[in-house]
A and B are shown apart, each in its own frame.
Chain A
Amino acid sequence: MHKMRSLFAVPYALWLLLFVFAPVVLILGYSFMDINGHFTLANYQAFFSSSNYLLLTLNSFWYALLITASTLLLGYPAAYFLTRLKHRDFWLLLVILPTWISLLLKAYAFIGIFGIHGGVNQFLNLFGIPAKQILFTNFSFVFVSAYIELPFMIMPIYNSLVEIDQSLVFASYDLGANKRQTFTKVIWPLSLSGVNSGIQAIFIPSLSLFMLTRLIGGNRVITLGTAIEEHFLITQNWGMGATIGVVLIIVMLLVMSLTRERKGDGSR
């Protein structure tokens, strides 16, 4: 099997080298480079001494938190009720269907809906509420992001709920627990793995959704992702962009270690 194994290894190893290791090394390397390609710590210095960048990071974190929290709050009950439906596979598929439409098209829809003459304002006009600018606000960014990410929260939670053995629920009732106790002591702990993967699937992209901030959030830089895009594609300051990228990677690793499945603590 030895010869065969090395034969398989070649293309995959090449991929690992070129598209996994090289990019990581390059982005780290560029974060220590100034605009002329010389080694410098100035990018990190600039990042950690500028209130702009720190505020940006904090903001990005805060919006990601808002988006994640609201999808969890809305998504958990939805997933829970979905599991109790008769044709639950079918209804889940209806939750998944919107994810098959490009997020750009969904964001585009909200340009119409949230516009000054758009659907929401027309609806509010019926009650005599004057038209307001909803588009290009931070609220619209959070709302649209949450809307787009909601199915990605419902799916993993639904899957973890479905996997719970019904006899565990019956056993809980049998042993005298009421509905509330059954939920907090049995169902919720057992669905935590789904909640964790939902949080992971939403929080990290929320830090980097630059296209939404551009389309819906009114072109202002309010997330780390937008800042990276701006430095790489607009101001061409790759060193600074790479530095922000490294910060984003660190935040990502932090979130992952917080939500990773803990092994051997009896939660499975």
Chain B
Amino acid sequence: MKKSKFGTIYLIVIFIVLYLPIFYLLTFSFNAGATMNHFTGFSLVHFQELFSDTRLLIILLQTFLLAFLSALIATAVGVCGTLWISYSKKKLTKNALLAANNVLLVSPDVIIGASFLILFTVAGNLLQGFGLGFVTVLLSHVAFSVPIVVLMVLPQLKKMNESLVFAAQDLGANNWQALTHVILPYLTPGIIAGYFMAFTYSLDDFAVTFFVTGGGFTTLSVEIYSRARQGVSLEVNALSTLVFIFALILVAGYYLISKDDASAKSVRKKRGVSR
């Protein structure tokens, strides 16, 4: 393929635009001063501030716990939903379920947040002791993660040959055994991917949480928002640096895994052809 000089320059500019703000952000986390305007000297003082900020550390822990739990529940519900959708024989039912599944995926965050706020308030009027807080945030995160899990698992299930289930039954397995011995192991990559996606969606969410948190419970995004609204605090920059490193590790790991997977696949393909 011919290399176009213009293309290379264009991409360089795009990458600079993409990364300059991020590096601007990260650089000032090492600033000895207190503003994002003048770099007055290298210092780790803001990281020290960060690590001694127990409030922020607790919020960080809560955020991860929330992501862990909500992804877990969402994965279980999502896998059930996937099986239900794929076992629906009638095309109409199937399409209706798929459409309903996608409602929360395409809806803007504010709509989800606002309608969940109404829902939880109504529920709070009906049930005693039910109020905005950790439980409502958890339920919301589960709710918006379920369709993502379905979306990640469904292709895997579609890829699965129907005759695998027939084969299991043919060999004496009942429905439950076919599910646990054949279907779920087959779906595992999709399930893991779904859990992972649900986890990151939960970590990343701000808008929905902001609506349903009610002040009793805070996640990292909500905390960052309220701090950013008060102006620049280089502790946030330090936090960004840590987040960036965390993302970098995840992306690098993902890249290595997918590269491994791809090369394994191509080996398999070659073998398949030469049989």
Binding site for B on A (CB under 8 A): 1, 3-5, 8-13, 15-16, 18-24, 26-27, 30, 74, 77-78, 80-82, 84-85, 89-91, 93-98, 100-113, 115, 117-119, 122, 147, 150-151, 200, 204-205, 207-208, 210-211, 214-215, 224-225, 228-229, 232-233, 238, 241-242, 245, 248-249, 252, 256
Contact = CB atoms under 8 A, between A and B. Distances in A.
A104 B225 contact: yes
Interface stretch (B52-60, B64-72, B80-88): B80-88
Interface of B: 1, 3-4, 7-8, 10-11, 14-15, 17-19, 21-22, 24-25, 28, 35-38, 76-78, 80-81, 83-84, 87-88, 97, 100, 103-104, 106-119, 122, 139, 142-143, 146, 175-176, 179, 200, 204, 206-207, 210-211, 220-221, 224-225, 228-229, 231-232, 236, 239-240, 243-244, 247-248, 250-251, 254-255, 258-259
A208 B220 CA distance: 21
Given A3-B175, A15-B77, 10 more contacts: A26-B118, A26-B122, A98-B18, A101-B240, A102-B206, A109-B24, A115-B232, A208-B111, A229-B114, A248-B111
Give 8 closest A-B pairs by Cβ, nearest first.
A112-B36, A23-B115, A12-B81, A208-B108, A100-B247, A81-B7, A19-B143, A109-B25
Contacts of A30: 118
Nearest to B2: A84
Contacts of B111: 27, 208, 228, 245, 248-249
Contact of A89 (B224, B248, B255): B255
B110 to A, nearest CB: 4
A121 to B, nearest CB: 9
B224 A104 contact: yes
Contact of A24 (B77, B84, B88, B115): B115
A245 B114 CA distance: 8
Given A112-B25, A232-B114, A18 B77 contact: no
Contacts of B11: 78, 81-82, 85, 91
Contacts of A205: 108-109
Most chain A CB inside 10 Å of its own CB: which residue of B35, B83, B118: B118
Contacts of A78: 10-11, 14
Given A4-B176, A12-B77, A89-B259, A108 B8 contact: no
Contacts of A210: 110, 207
B14 A5 contact: no
Contacts of A11: 76-77, 80-81
A119 B118 CA distance: 42
A209 to B, nearest CB: 9
The main secondary structure of chain A at its interface with chain B is helix
21 contacts: A8-B81, A9-B80, A12-B81, A13-B84, A19-B116, A21-B100, A23-B112, A30-B118, A81-B10, A95-B18, A104-B224, A104-B225, A105-B25, A106-B22, A108-B240, A109-B240, A112-B232, A215-B228, A242-B118, A248-B110, A249-B111
Contact of B108 (A119, A151, A252): A252
Nearest to B204: A102
Contact of A151 (B18, B117, B232): B18
A112 B240 CA distance: 14
A38 B119 CA distance: 18
Contacts of B114: 27, 228-229, 232, 241-242, 245
Contact of B37 (A112, A151, A214): A112
A109 B200 CA distance: 21
Contact of B224 (A20, A90, A102, A248): A102
Nearest to B25: A109
Most chain B CB inside 10 Å of its own CB: which residue of A109, A110, A232: A109
A117 B35 CA distance: 10
B25 A90 contact: no
A112 B38 CA distance: 10
Given A8-B81, A122-B37, A256 B106 contact: yes
Contacts of A111: 36, 228, 231-232
A21 B88 CA distance: 20
A88 B24 CA distance: 26
Contacts of B231: 111
A12 to B, nearest CB: 3
B21 to A, nearest CB: 4
Contacts of B104: 19-20
A245 B109 CA distance: 11
B104 to A, nearest CB: 6
Contact of A98 (B19, B122, B228): B19
B271 to A, nearest CB: 23
Nearest to A204: B108
Nearest to B239: A105
A150 B17 CA distance: 10
A84 B2 CA distance: 9
A117 B251 CA distance: 34
Contacts of B207: 208, 210-211
